[in-house]
Amino acid sequence: MKRLIWNRHTKLIAKHVAGWFCIIVGLIMCITPGQGLLTILLGVYLLADEIPLFGKIRDYLERRFPKAAAFVHRQRRKLTEKFGRKTTPDDPANDG
């Protein structure tokens, strides 16, 4: 079996698959028991950098709920430190 190469395109495809999966599962969970809205928001945040509409939704939510946005950014920074992804000074994960 050929080894999967994790380049930029592979990561982009994986991010899209995960984001759209979260949105679809979240919509299903809105009518069945589960955390539907939270799952939809997770999908929106995953796709916000690639899809302009989701980016606008993310920006609105960050303006409307600044404490929640700060919490999300802190958690992202912790995860990137834990898993060793190097961040640049202009990376949103470095916001303070």
56: amino acid identity, one letter: K
- Give the span between the Cα atoms of 41 and 47, in whole angstroms: 10
Entry pTM: 0.69
| CB distance 55 to 42 below 8 Å | no
- DSSP 8-state assignment for residue 21: H
Looking at residue 56, its pLDDT comes to 95
Looking at residue 34, its pLDDT comes to 84
| CB distance 16 to 30 below 8 Å | no
Profile the chain (96 residues) by mean pLDDT over runs of 10 residues: 73 91 94 89 91 93 91 86 65 52
Looking at residue 96, its pLDDT comes to 46
Q: Which residues lie closer than 8 Å to 95 by C-beta, 6 or more apart? A: 73
44: amino acid identity, one letter: V
- Give the span between the Cα atoms of 11 and 66, in whole angstroms: 29
